[in-house]
Amino acid sequence: MVSIMSLWLPVVLSAVAVFIASAVIHMFLTYHNTDFRKLPDEDKVMAALRPFGIPLGQYVMPQCGHNAERREQAFKDKVKAGPVAFLTVMPSDYGMGKSLALWFLYCVAMGIFAAYIAGRALAPGAEYLAVFRLAGAAAFGGYALGLLQESIWYHRAWAATFKSIADGLVYALLTAGVFGWLWPA
């Protein structure tokens, strides 16, 4: 067994590696450019929503407060008339700084999770491949598998989800490699 504290270096370095890889993926590679489509008459839709001053948050329309309401004809009529949508409202002065900081903290958390799993299962001096497999599997679970829910429940395009899962595989492989390289003797 290896303590998480003795794995602080692979945790931090794997987070840095993943952070850099994600920057390269999203800034220089273009395959995520088609993850979101543009609304028809986007300017008109934005102008129509603006007067409502919708607070930050996540919304669904039409929304029903309880399961019994789903069976009511008025709700069924709203759904049938459409549009049915999930909406995330963000601040108009949306900046990347906070999101990047939170992403880095998430990468650290994934490293800690991988350290916990591998550290409980393996002893100091474990072979590179054994460390790689365990740390990589733990990191893949955290970076990739939860993304499937977006397509299952919120109808995110499956292509976008699979591209993000491929990104998660890259992040997991980087995490696995760093852990295998820096595993305590």
The secondary element (H helix, E strand) that includes residue 144 is none
Per-residue pLDDT tens for 14-69? Answer: 999 999 999 999 999 999 999 999 999 999 999 999 999 999 999 999 998 887 78
Q: Which of 138, 147, 149 has the alpha carbon at shortest distance from 166? A: 147
pLDDT at 48: 95
Half-sphere exposure of 149 toward its Cβ, with a 13 Å CA cutoff? 6
Per-residue pLDDT tens for 105-160? Answer: 999 999 999 999 999 999 999 999 999 999 999 999 999 999 999 999 999 999 99
Per the structure block, which two tokens stand in for 105? 């903290």
CA-derived radius of gyration, the chain: 21
53 Ramachandran zone, left/alpha/beta (phi>0; psi -120 to 50): left
- Provide the Cα torsion 113, 119, 122, 123; round to 10°: 170
Predicted TM-score (pTM) of the model is 0.91
Q: Which of 7, 60, 36, 15 has the alpha carbon at shortest distance from 161? A: 36
pLDDT at 147: 96
Residue 6 has pLDDT above 90, yes or no: yes
Per-residue pLDDT tens for 81-101? Answer: 999 999 999 988 888 999 999
**With 0-12 CB in 10 A as exposed, 13-18 as middle and 19+ as buried, what is 12?**
middle
Residues 6+ apart with CB under 8 A from 147: 161, 164, 165, 168
Residue 72 has pLDDT above 90, yes or no: no
